[in-house]
Amino acid sequence: MSSSESGDVHNKATVEELEKGSAIQVSSIDKNLTRKVLWKLDTRILPVLAILFLCSFLDRTNVGNARLYNLEADINITDHQYDQGLAVFYASYILSEIPSNLILKKLTPQIWLPCLTFLWGVSAMCLGFVQNFSGFVGVRVLLGLTEGGLLPGIVLYLSTVYTRGELAMRIGIFYTAASLSGAFGGLLARGIAEIGQRGGLNRWRWIFVLEGLFTALVGIAAYFLLPNGVGSAKFLNPEERQFAVSRLNAQSQRDGSNRESEATEKFAWSEVGRGVFSLQTWFTASAYFGILSGLYSFGLFLPTIISGLGYTADEAQLWSVIPYAAASVVTVCTAYLSDRFRVRGMIMLGSLPLAIIGYAVIANTNDNKVKYGMTFMMATGLYSSVPPVLGWLSNNSAGHYKRATTSALQLAIANCGGFVAVFIYPKSQGPNYHQGHTIIMSLLCAGWFLILCNTLYCWKINRDKANGKYDKYRGCGDDRDPLFKLVL
């Protein structure tokens, strides 16, 4: 392309044309410009998503912190009713995930993701004013409906901003916010509790009100900070926007997919069906189910578990910080290795055993120091397995609506782990929780074998493509194309 032609493109290309990739053709990758573009994307988009997800985890798990400050006694509910309140959250959360992802493209990420954040922030605030069981359950349902679309929406959004080989690292960076929220949540709850009875509200009510208010304000700010895609990112100059779109299109062509056609792709139930009936969806989602069963139980009950080790409520909040902080470091390192070697399942086959060992030991020891030490292995193994499993299915799904379906369905199935987490750690089993820990360990062992199965399945598909068994799909522009190699 000549310089004069490039100038014409520079002047005439619109945001819509950039998103479709129709205005630019590239023949080579400028490494320096790639680094500049990635740096801007990483520093302008990822922090916003990380804060959104941090808020999500805070508002999802702060009920565990509030429980330490007499939530149940003040609204006159039993342990079983408390568990029911947790369970209905997961039910509504799961139901909202697929519809949310399917409408994300129509409503645009810049509008939909901040809107969800604002609505669940308001819902979280409402938890601070409930007076009885029915109010507790009703607000938890609303919280799940508004919050459920965030994570699948973020994964889908990131898959349109980064290439396949860059996705796991970015998921790892923003997902670290989940680890840090565990640390931050304990510290924040401890600080908010110092407010005491001011304003006629109990300490646990202030936890919900202030954290929910913060989330609502973050949602408003996110609207002004998130772009819909690289072609409309105002923090990139025109040359960088053109290059950012071009490199995504060039990479997709090498992979056998077609980002240009995805920009204009119309909704089709056949694409939804391809996502629903994909074996990869069920292998990874079932494995992720075991991981989230552990994550949710860990996040909801760690303060209670540490209290059972002999610490006061305030001490439990502080001691719960350290395992999360350690897990956040390992999560980013694992995600980096996953992208560096472009493998997902292979990484998980190494990270999950850490959590399995942790649960096996903590379930069969009475030594308090050993129990606390094992929480480090549990948190590290669980959190570091998440970026590979989320990036894996998105990497291996091409076609916008198939990827939207697989990302959401994977999380919908996996989030059923919340039901497991809610009921396997009753107070009556504390402080050892032998049965609960054993159940999680068993689920993680099953998850390890499912990851192995999916790795072998992807290897078989790649071998079949190399042997010509998928030649009839050549040029189709989705993950069935022989040029589209599945990530192992």
Whether 254 shows a pLDDT value over 80: the answer reads no
Instruction: Output the pLDDT for position 96.
Output: 92
Distance CA 405, CA 26 (A): 31
Distance CA 59, CA 354 (A): 28
Distance CA 88, CA 414 (A): 15
pLDDT per residue over 307-336, tens digit each? 767 777 667 767 777 888 888 889 989 999
Comparison of pLDDT for 194 and 478, the residue scoring more: 478
Instruction: Output the pLDDT for position 303.
Output: 67
From 38-47, 171-180, 240-249, the region with the lowest mean pLDDT? 171-180
Whether 352 shows a pLDDT value over 80: the answer reads yes
pLDDT band (50, 70, 90) for residue 223: very high
pLDDT band (50, 70, 90) for residue 193: low
Whether 9 shows a pLDDT value over 60: the answer reads no
Instruction: Output the pLDDT for position 356.
Output: 96
Instruction: Output the pLDDT for position 24.
Output: 41
pLDDT per residue over 200-212, tens digit each? 777 888 888 888 9
Among left, alpha and beta (phi > 0; psi -120 to 50; other), residue 258 is beta
Residue 342, phi then psi, degrees to nearest 5:
50, 50
Instruction: Output the pLDDT for position 372.
Output: 82
Instruction: Output the pLDDT for position 11.
Output: 39
pLDDT per residue over 65-74, tens digit each? 788 788 888 8
pLDDT band (50, 70, 90) for residue 347: very high
Whether 17 shows a pLDDT value over 50: the answer reads no
Give the pair of three-digit tokens for residue 198. 């001011």
Distance CA 332, CA 27 (A): 32
Distance CA 339, CA 479 (A): 19
pLDDT band (50, 70, 90) for residue 278: very high
The answer to whether 410 touches 285, Cβ cutoff 8 Å, is yes
Collapsed DSSP state (helix, strand, coil) of residue 184: helix
Instruction: Output the pLDDT for position 21.
Output: 42
Q: How buried is 357 (Cβ within 10 angstroms: 0-12 exposed, 13-18 middle, 19+ buried)?
A: middle
* Mean pLDDT computed over every residue of the chain: 83
pLDDT band (50, 70, 90) for residue 258: low
Distance CA 35, CA 80 (A): 53
Instruction: Output the pLDDT for position 314.
Output: 66
From 2-11, 37-46, 225-234, the region with the lowest mean pLDDT? 2-11
Question: CA dihedral defined by 9, 12, 13, 15, rounded to 10 degrees?
Answer: 160
pLDDT band (50, 70, 90) for residue 18: very low
Question: CA dihedral defined by 129, 133, 134, 139, rounded to 10 degrees?
Answer: 50
CB atoms within 10 A of CB 166: 18
Whether 446 shows a pLDDT value over 90: the answer reads yes
Whether 477 shows a pLDDT value over 80: the answer reads no
Highest mean pLDDT among 23-37, 237-251, 348-362, 408-422: 348-362
Mean predicted confidence (pLDDT) in 84-113 = 90
Distance CA 75, CA 73 (A): 6
Say how many CA atoms lie within 13 Å of 475 toward its Cβ: 1
pLDDT band (50, 70, 90) for residue 295: confident
Distance CA 58, CA 484 (A): 38
b/e map 243-259, b = 16+ CB within 10 Å: bbbbbbbbbbeebbbbb
Whether 183 shows a pLDDT value over 70: the answer reads no
Instruction: Output the pLDDT for position 260.
Output: 62
pLDDT band (50, 70, 90) for residue 216: very high
Highest mean pLDDT among 138-142, 169-173, 243-247, 315-319: 138-142
